[in-house]
Amino acid sequence: MSTNDSKIAILGGRGMLGTDLAKICEQQGFDVKVFDLPEFDITNSQQLKEAVGSAKIIVNCAAYTNVDGAESETKLAHQVNAEATGRLGALVKEADAWLLHLGTDFVFDGRLDRPYVETDLPNPINEYGKSKLAGEQLLGHSGCRHCIMRVEWTYGKAGENFVSKLIRRAKTDKVVTMVDDQTGSPTATTEVARVICKLFRIKPEGVFHFASSGYVSRYGIAEFIFDKLSMDVNLLACKTSDLNSAAARPLNSRFDCSKIEALLDEPIESWQVPLERFLRQV
């Protein structure tokens, strides 16, 4: 790899995924620069231009991710997830660089009765999903060389996520209710980061789905976690329709990952393996 190709800019580099990615990139000898709030704001055009700078690889982990919050802060969600992403695409094209942009399962409505492939038609059912889809579309219009990597149900040590919230809740509440009709794959940010580093070497273009292999309900994840941590919790099941949340959630978040798996040198691990590793660390 040439010296120029080893220059990587990670936008949103102090978030949950960005933190793991920066660490793995450094371990692999890449020249990494991290950009994040408060000193870097992706909606600031000048700061965005400076961040792209002389990097030949840009990873965009920066996003507005408060799913319920996006229902009331719609304008902000679109500024971050859509407009800024479009401007980033234009800058990447100008710099003749390559961009890896992080997407989400929330671009789909979750009504399909099979795992989603990359060519399935998006149909987001909440403002967060709409803002992320608009970002993907603006990237396409920019004409830059890019890869969209849609991920789902991510968890990691550096941020707020479903797994850590669940463990925290179980320490104070002896009764925990969890939805059993949302299905997907809990995916460790360490796994996402490792795959991203592999993609740097081939710089594919297009849309790719990535998640740990196998599928489970949110209730099933809670069951797995409480069992592995030997937590004495009364776990109850409920339906998504029972919850009073601001944003609608897709029930089916299952990804077919065969497209990205064909690019990798090893099979994708089943969700239980990285999750058990994570639980040993917490």
Q: Looking at residue 144, which CATH number applies to its domain?
A: 3.40.50.720
In a domain, 200, yes or no: yes
Catalytic residue IDs = 128
Task: Please state the domain count of the chain.
Answer: 1
User: 28 vs 189, 194, 221, CA distance in Å?
Assistant: 17, 10, 32
Q: Is 19 helix (H, G, I), strand (E, B) or coil?
A: helix
Helices (H) and strands (E) in the chain, counts: 10, 12
Please tell me the predicted confidence (pLDDT) of residue 3: 42
Phi, psi of 154 (to 5 degrees): -80, 150
Which residue has tokens 């992320």? 132
Confidence of residue 145 (pLDDT cuts 50, 70, 90): very high
In a domain, 207, yes or no: yes
Overall average pLDDT of the 237-260 stretch? 97
Angle of CA points 202, 206, 210, to nearest 5°:
80
In a domain, 242, yes or no: no
Could you tell me the end-to-end alpha-carbon distance of the chain, in angstroms, rounded to an integer? 36
Confidence of residue 186 (pLDDT cuts 50, 70, 90): very high
In a domain, 277, yes or no: no
Confidence of residue 1 (pLDDT cuts 50, 70, 90): very low
In a domain, 56, yes or no: yes
Please tell me the predicted confidence (pLDDT) of residue 212: 98
- List pLDDT tens digits, range 90-141: 999 999 999 999 999 999 999 999 999 999 999 999 999 999 999 999 999 9
- What is the value of pTM for the model shown? 0.96
Which residue has tokens 């994840």? 221
Mean pLDDT of the chain: 96
Phi, psi of 70 (to 5 degrees): -65, -20
In a domain, 71, yes or no: yes
In a domain, 113, yes or no: yes
Overall average pLDDT of the 168-189 stretch? 96
Q: Specify the DSSP element, H or E, that contains 103.
A: strand 98-104
Domain residue limits at 44 = 4-160+187-214+254-269
For residue 102, give the DSSP letter. E
In a domain, 247, yes or no: no
The answer to whether residue 154 scores a pLDDT higher than 90 is: yes
